[in-house]
Amino acid sequence: MLRKTLWVSLCAGALLAGAAPALAAPETPLHSELGPLTATRVAGDLQHPWALAFLPEGQGMLVTERAGNLRLVSPAGKVSKPLSGVPEVWAKGQGGLLDVVLSPTFKDDRMVYLAYAEGGGEGGKAGTAVGRGRLAADLSGLKGFQVIFRQAPKLSTSNHFGSRLVFDRDGSLFITLGENNERATAQDLDKLQGKVVRLYPDGKVPDDNPFVGQPGVREEIWSYGHRNPQGAALNPWTGALWVNEHGPRGGDEVNIVERGSNYGWPLATHGVNYSGLAIPEAQGSRVEGTLAPHHVWEKSPAISGMAFYDHDRFRAWQHNLFIGALGSQELIRLQLDGDQVVHEERLLGELKSCIRDVRQGPDGYLYVLTDEDQGALYRVGLQ
């Protein structure tokens, strides 16, 4: 069996190196339960793109490439040269330049936040770091980039960095962190592996974080017991943070993250090791003192970025959650009734591409990144 870690890190099995995407037409009709879809290829020739963020006033999109480049994609689909001022990244396996988000007050401060893998750990290991820089007026690069957070200790040899960045309604920054493929650390409150952390935009720890003042506990921690959370989004109707994460062989999860809660890994899981053997620490799919997944896949699609849909353009998508899938090469649509998942549909399988990220654009379309040697950006909508 192909290890899901290979899908997560390389995700190149769908296309031979240098091959064109399966659907290269400018606009291709696709099937969905809610009517025909269109997938318009906005830009191509992106090297394993990981995340995108929309600039205001129709200036285009910032797109990260895992190798370490930040690029500007114009509304017409022109891909810029790499922007300057981006930090050096540890681009091995799943490591590299990861998420990108704009400051909630971007119009005033022009701050761009980046999550990335950073080396320098003992024995050449790496961990997740987050920093911010000011986007130049001419969009050529970031000025004065400063690191505001570092995962400690650094334990990854190439796997399980997370990492998504989400600002809440109050302007606090959530960072999702993988457990660096060191399972037990997800339960260790003196380490930042397998955690969601909450910080102020400058990296300081809020006084109301759940473990502030407790000896031997990292005060950045908001929740723990996570494996490798590579999708996160703020519910626009409730303000709650939703996170999705890779299980091992089986047991991919969606969780609604609550303050100070334990999400179980590796004590509670619906999956097994890639070898087929049980997880040594596992005590079952439900363990007292941990929260069960809000939604779980017994067969892992290898999930990544996600976005809630809250726009008037396509009313049939209202109150739906969209999640990219690397292994099954689809866009997953979860229909919600309140917080409950009441239906699931798999979309864009015709693309035969690993879907790394999905975002709702200001125009009401979904924008999807495919994680490949020659990755692409698609604009997806209902006809």
Query: What positions carry a catalytic annotation?
Result: 160
Q: Rounded to an integer, what distance in angstroms lies between the CA atom of residue 252 and that of residue 92? A: 23
- Which token pair is 124? 């050449």
Identify the three-state secondary structure at position 272.
strand
Name the residue type at position 46.
Answer: L
**Residue 20: CA count within 13 A, CB half-sphere:** 5
Element (H, E) at 52: strand 49-54
Q: Which residue has the tokens 């879809």?
A: 37
Residue type, 368: V
- Contact call for residues 186 and 245 (beta carbons, < 8 A): no
Distance CA 7, CA 249 (A): 12
3-class secondary structure per residue, 308-350: EECCCCCHHHCCEEEEEECCCCEEEEEEEECCEEEEEEEECHH
Closest CA to 254 of 340, 152, 366, 358: 340
Distance of CA 122 to the CA centre of its chain: 26
3 state DSSP class of 150? strand
- Residue 132 and residue 148: Cα distance in Å, rounded? 7
Name the nearest CA neighbour of 290 among 321, 260, 322, 329.
260
* Coil/strand/helix, residue 6: helix
- List beta partners, residue 167: 173
- Separation CA 356–CA 256 (nearest Å): 21
What residues contact 34, with CB distance under 8 A and at least 6 apart? Answer: 316, 317, 382
